[in-house]
Amino acid sequence: MIAKIKKVTEEVTAEMKKVAWPTREHLWKSSQIVVVVSLIITLIVSVFDWIISNGVNTLFSSF
């Protein structure tokens, strides 16, 4: 059992050395892009929600 754990630990360590970790600059720029795109999508969804809500309210207020 301990030999299996040791083997897995060694394999994980070897694979982690192969990982291409992003630089701090790349990570920062990627994070900014994610935040900006998330805000844009939030704005678009909010506008569509507002339009649909007003449409439904207008439709049902006439009854």
Tens of pLDDT, residues 7-60: 999 999 999 999 999 999 999 999 999 999 999 999 999 999 999 999 999 988
Q: What is the pLDDT of residue 5?
A: 95
Cβ contacts of residue 22 below 8 Å, gap of 6+? 30
Q: In the structure encoding, which two tokens stand for residue 56, read together?
A: 């439904």
Please, what is the end-to-end C-alpha distance for the chain in angstroms?
Answer: 73
pLDDT of residue 61: 86
Cα-flanking dihedrals φ and ψ of residue 45, to 5°? -65, -40
| Residue keyed to tokens 């694979």 | 15
Position 32: which residue type? Q
